[in-house]
Structure 1
Amino acid sequence: MYYRILDAADYGVPQHRERLFIVGLKEGEYLFPYPTHGPDSLDRQPYCSAAQDWTNARTIIRVQRQRKLRDTIERETCY
């Protein structure tokens, strides 16, 4: 059994949220992933801010809405 408390901010999530992860293996050894953000990360990327995350979310939402609207338009018609 392997266990560790990981902070979501260390993995690119724009909020500090600690969670306990428990991994059980029948054989072998488990290595938890290295942080991708923060002072303990390999390349020392800064933590993501909520503003950065919201900018990305708005773009994703806009694209999803465009696809949904596009799918409702009948082919070879004017809109």
Structure 2
Amino acid sequence: MAISIDFSGQVALITGGTKGVGRGIAQRFADAGAQVVVCARTIPEGLPPEWAAYPADLREFDQAEALIDQIVARFGTL
């Protein structure tokens, strides 16, 4: 049985969302209406154009903090 959740108007950050399981999760959020933001150490070509993508190494606190600041500046929330 599929679970249906509406994420319209929500911003979802998926770390490691550019490939594999993370990309699948990002796609599910997009399908549920969320504005998808993905981050990874490197951003590949070919992501859906409606997704926002930011390069960041989240092992580094300053990069994690900057990522959140950029997302909030762009979307107003996270």
Report TM bin, short chain. Answer: under 0.3
Work out which structure has the larger RCO, using CA pairs closer than 8 Å and 6 or more positions apart in sequence. Answer: 2
Q: Whose strand fraction is larger, Structure 1's or Structure 2's? A: 2
